[in-house]
Structure 1
Amino acid sequence: MATVKIVLREDKMNKAGEAPVYLRITKERQTTYISLELRVKPQDWDVVLCQVTGSYPNKKRVNNYLLQRKAEAMDTVLKKETKSHSSEKLKKVIKGESSESFLKYYAKHLAKLEKAAKVNTLRKARSVYNKLEAYLGKRDLLFDDLTVAFLKQYEAHLRDDLGNSINTIHSDLKIFRKLIYDAIREDLVSPERNPFLKFGLETEKTTKAHLTEEELDAIWMLPLKEGSKQWHHRNLFVFAADAGGPRISDLLQLKWGNFSGTHITFTTQKTNDIVSVKLRTRPLAILQLYRKETSKPSNFVFEFMRPGKDYSDPWVLQKGLSAANAHINKNLKIIAERAGISKHISFHSSRHTFATRALTKGMDMESVSKLLGHNSIKTTQIYAKIVNGKLDQAMDVFD
Structure 2
Amino acid sequence: MTTVELVYYKYKPLKNGELPLKIRITKDRKIRYVNLGVSTKPEHWDFSKNQPKSNCPNREQLERLIANKIGEVKAQIVELKADRKEFTATSLVQKINNRDKSVSVRELFQEHLTYLAEMKRTGYMLSIKQTFNSLSAFSSSLDIPFSDIDLAWLRRYETWLRKQGKSENTIGIRFRNLRMIYNLAIEKGVVKKEYYPFSSYKVSKLHKATAKRAIPKEAIRAIIHYPVKDKDFYTRLAVSLFSFSYFMGGINFVDMAYLSSKNIVGGRLIYTRRKTGKLINLPLSSEALSALEAWKHTGSNYLFPILSSVHKTEQMRLNRLHKVITKANNALKQLGEHLQLPVKLTTYVARHSFATVLKREGVSTSIICESLGHSSEKVTQIYLDSFENTQIDEAMKHLL
* TM-score after normalising by structure 2: 0.67
Give secondary structure in 2 for the equivalent of 1:345: coil
> Residue 106 and residue 290 in structure 1: after superposition, are their counterparts in 2 closer, same or farther (change >3 A)?
closer
Give secondary structure in 2 for the equivalent of 1:367: coil
1:23-52 deviation per Cα after TM superposition (whole angstroms, max 9, x unaligned): 379xxxxx99458xxxxxxxxxxxxxxxxx
**Which residue of structure 2 lines up, in the alignment, with residue 302 of structure 1?**
304
Supply the distance in 2 between the matched residues of 1:89 and 1:113 (Cα, whole angstroms). Answer: 34
**Which residue of structure 1 lines up, in the alignment, with residue 128 of structure 2?**
125
**Which residue of structure 2 lines up, in the alignment, with residue 343 of structure 1?**
343
Supply the distance in 2 between the matched residues of 1:286 and 1:72 (Cα, whole angstroms). Answer: 64
> Residue 369 and residue 188 in structure 1: after superposition, are their counterparts in 2 closer, same or farther (change >3 A)?
same
1:376 to 376, 379, 398: 379
> Residue 255 and residue 189 in structure 1: after superposition, are their counterparts in 2 closer, same or farther (change >3 A)?
closer
Supply the distance in 2 between the matched residues of 1:81 and 1:129 (Cα, whole angstroms). Answer: 40
The offset of 1:213, in angstroms, is 0.3
**Which residue of structure 2 lines up, in the alignment, with residue 276 of structure 1?**
281
Q: Following superposition of structure 1 onto structure 2, how do residues 62-81 of structure 1 map, counting pairs within 5 Å?
A: 74-78=77-81
Supply the distance in 1 between the matched residues of 2:109 and 2:356 (Cα, whole angstroms). Answer: 39
Q: Which runs of no fewer than 5 residues in structure 1 stay unpaired? A: 7-13, 15-19, 26-30, 36-69, 382-399
Confirm or deny: 8 A CA contact 1:93 1:99 kept in the other structure: yes
1:309-334 deviation per Cα after TM superposition (whole angstroms, max 9, x unaligned): 145x3333222222211111010011
Supply the distance in 1 between the matched residues of 2:303 and 2:353 (Cα, whole angstroms). Answer: 22
The offset of 1:138, in angstroms, is 5.7
**Which residue of structure 1 lines up, in the alignment, with residue 355 of structure 2?**
355
> Residue 219 and residue 88 in structure 1: after superposition, are their counterparts in 2 closer, same or farther (change >3 A)?
same
Supply the distance in 2 between the matched residues of 1:368 and 1:126 (Cα, whole angstroms). Answer: 32
Say what the alpha-carbon RMSD is for the aligned residues.
3.9
The offset of 1:366, in angstroms, is 3.3
Supply the distance in 2 between the matched residues of 1:226 and 1:72 (Cα, whole angstroms). Answer: 71
Point out the structure with max Rg over C-alpha. Answer: 1
**Which residue of structure 2 lines up, in the alignment, with residue 258 of structure 1?**
263
> Residue 342 and residue 256 in structure 1: after superposition, are their counterparts in 2 closer, same or farther (change >3 A)?
same
The offset of 1:123, in angstroms, is 2.4
**Which residue of structure 2 lines up, in the alignment, with residue 137 of structure 1?**
140
Supply the distance in 2 between the matched residues of 1:147 and 1:376 (Cα, whole angstroms). Answer: 31
Q: Please say if 1:235 is aligned against 2:236.
A: no
Confirm or deny: 8 A CA contact 2:215 2:353 kept in the other structure: yes
1:179 to 157, 163, 181: 181
Amino acid at match of 1:178: M
Give secondary structure in 2 for the equivalent of 1:225: coil
Supply the distance in 1 between the matched residues of 2:294 and 2:83 (Cα, whole angstroms). Answer: 65
Amino acid at match of 2:229: K
1:216-247 deviation per Cα after TM superposition (whole angstroms, max 9, x unaligned): 11212322214532123212212211221111
1:162 to 161, 164, 188: 164
The offset of 1:282, in angstroms, is 2.2
Confirm or deny: 8 A CA contact 1:263 1:277 kept in the other structure: yes
Confirm or deny: 8 A CA contact 1:219 1:234 kept in the other structure: yes
> Residue 171 and residue 80 in structure 1: after superposition, are their counterparts in 2 closer, same or farther (change >3 A)?
farther
The offset of 1:180, in angstroms, is 2.4
Give secondary structure in 1 for the equivalent of 2:282: strand
Amino acid at match of 2:336: A
The offset of 1:351, in angstroms, is 0.4
The offset of 1:171, in angstroms, is 1.2
2:202 to 191, 200, 203: 200
Supply the distance in 2 between the matched residues of 1:288 and 1:108 (Cα, whole angstroms). Answer: 42
Confirm or deny: 8 A CA contact 1:102 1:143 kept in the other structure: yes
The offset of 1:113, in angstroms, is 4.2
Confirm or deny: 8 A CA contact 2:264 2:270 kept in the other structure: yes
**Which residue of structure 2 lines up, in the alignment, with residue 23 of structure 1?**
27
Amino acid at match of 1:367: I
Fraction of identical pairs, as percent: 22
Give secondary structure in 2 for the equivalent of 1:235: helix
Give secondary structure in 1 for the equivalent of 2:347: coil
Give secondary structure in 2 for the equivalent of 1:175: helix
Give secondary structure in 1 for the equivalent of 2:269: strand
Supply the distance in 2 between the matched residues of 1:286 and 1:157 (Cα, whole angstroms). Answer: 45
1:109-139 deviation per Cα after TM superposition (whole angstroms, max 9, x unaligned): 4455456554333322222222222222368
> Residue 358 and residue 77 in structure 1: after superposition, are their counterparts in 2 closer, same or farther (change >3 A)?
same
The offset of 1:89, in angstroms, is 6.0
Supply the distance in 1 between the matched residues of 2:268 and 2:75 (Cα, whole angstroms). Answer: 66
Supply the distance in 1 between the matched residues of 2:303 and 2:113 (Cα, whole angstroms). Answer: 34
Q: How many residues align?
A: 316
The offset of 1:379, in angstroms, is 10
2:220 to 211, 216, 221: 216
Supply the distance in 2 between the matched residues of 1:379 and 1:352 (Cα, whole angstroms). Answer: 18
The offset of 1:206, in angstroms, is 0.9
The offset of 1:255, in angstroms, is 1.9
Supply the distance in 2 between the matched residues of 1:283 and 1:199 (Cα, whole angstroms). Answer: 46
Give secondary structure in 2 for the equivalent of 1:275: strand
Amino acid at match of 1:346: T
Confirm or deny: 8 A CA contact 2:25 2:32 kept in the other structure: no
Confirm or deny: 8 A CA contact 1:76 1:93 kept in the other structure: no
Moved more, 128-137 or 361-370: 361-370
Give secondary structure in 2 for the equivalent of 1:180: helix
